[in-house]
Amino acid sequence: MAVEIKAVRGVRELREFVALPYRLHAGTNWIPQLIVERYLFLSRRLNAFFKHGEAVYFIARRGDRVVGRITAQINHAANQYHDRRWGNFGFIEFEDDQEVVDALLGAAEEWLRARGMERMVGPMDFTMNDESGVLIEGFEREPMIRQPWHPPYYQQRLEAAGFQKAMDLLMWELWFTDRYTGMMKVLPEIAESAKTKHGVTLRKMSRRHLRRDMDEFAKVYNAAWSKNWDFVPFSKEDLDAYASELQLVYDKDWFMVAEIEGKTAAVAITIPDINQVQKKMKGRLLPFGWTYFLRKRWLINQVRVGFLGVLPEYQHTGVAAALYIEHFDVAERTRRKGGEMGWILESNKAMNRGMEMMGGRIVKRFRVYERPL
């Protein structure tokens, strides 16, 4: 049968859109997210992306069978910031069938071209700060929080469709128990100098004032990441949504702010890997999924270092080293001994060098693709 592509309309088709990866990846290393969370994330009313973006959801069928899905979206904030006309695709899932892939990408391309876009880049769900890229290395490892997982044929099919590499995103494994073997010996000296010579002090974010600390995070992010590929500043609406999400995974040991003379110099947000809990929940709160979530503090033994950045004017102070060492110190007194850091752009030489200094190793690679329209 021919492949039919249709824009999602109504609750039934949205349910089919959401359900596809749960069927495609059953029995693999993929970890199902909460189904109810997926509906909330895709809601145009609730997701902050739709304050500055638009999207369409497509499903592919062969007869009565759903065989693929994709979104096409335009991030107007990103295009305005970079003075460009890029469209994006995301949420791509498909059976191992080139005809399905070509049809999905063709539908996304047609929708984007009709709106004047000149390049299609992805996948990203919906932005680079969400799940991004196609997994091309590390298939044997389970994904951590906010990481996609794909079988090897995804890369093969996208490249056969004419997409080329735009950027690789790296995940570094880091075990903080390796401080005496893997970490460069100069790092503790730099961290100590940051405190004694430059007056760096560390404090932990509080749950009560988390939204206020997100404003401090945004100051660092919007300055430190400003030259990164596809960077987009956080808006107030983005920060509101991000603060609400972080409340669910907040851990006072791992949410850090570095200050000099009472002013924010750097921020690190390290997130307990809630995927270890979601693996047991199998996508559902009921009947027993909620009990695993309540026990998450005892089930989670690894973290994902999501953000660690320094304001440009303080990059000479060694404040990043102070935050690195604090991660090792926290691991010594908690049950969370390591995990992964990233993603980090392959072009971000400073951060990748920092991971090498801490004794890290690259364990996953995700690829973002592009194709002119």
Q: What are the structure tokens assigned to 102, written together? A: 């070509």
Which DSSP string corresponds to 146-198? Answer: T-----THHHHHHHHTT-EEEEEEEEEEEEGGGTTTTS-THHHHHHHHHHHTT
Handedness of CA 246, 252, 256, 260 (dihedral sign): positive
Tens digits of residue pLDDT in 330-370: 988 888 888 999 999 999 998 898 888 878 899 999 999 99
* Nearest residue to 124 via CA among 87, 178, 80, 177: 87
Task: Supply 146's token pair.
Answer: 């906010």
Please tell me the distance from the alpha carbon of residue 369 to that of residue 74, in angstroms, as a whole number. 16
Per-residue pLDDT of the chain (373 residues; tens, 9 = 90+): 899 999 999 999 999 999 999 999 999 999 999 999 999 999 999 999 999 999 999 999 999 999 999 999 999 999 999 999 999 999 999 999 999 999 999 999 999 999 999 999 999 999 999 999 999 999 999 999 999 999 999 999 999 999 999 999 999 998 877 666 667 778 889 999 999 999 999 999 999 999 999 999 999 999 988 888 999 998 899 999 999 999 988 999 999 999 999 999 999 999 999 999 888 888 887 666 667 666 777 788 899 988 899 999 999 999 999 998 998 889 888 888 889 999 999 999 988 988 888 788 999 999 999 999 9
Instruction: Return phi, psi of residue 67, to 5°.
Output: -120, 0
Among 325, 303, 332, 305, CA closest to 200: 325
Q: Which backbone phi and psi does 250 adopt, to 5 degrees?
A: -60, 135
**Is the pTM higher than 0.75?**
yes
Counting DSSP H helices and E strands in the chain, the numbers are: 13, 15
- What distance in Å separates the CA atoms of residue 328 and residue 338, rounded to the nearest whole number? 9
List the domains of the chain with CATH numbers.
4-170 (3.40.630.30), 173-364 (3.40.630.30)
pLDDT in tens, 275-295: 998 888 888 876 666 676 667
Q: Which residues on neighbouring strands pair with residue 267, listed in sequence order?
A: 257, 309
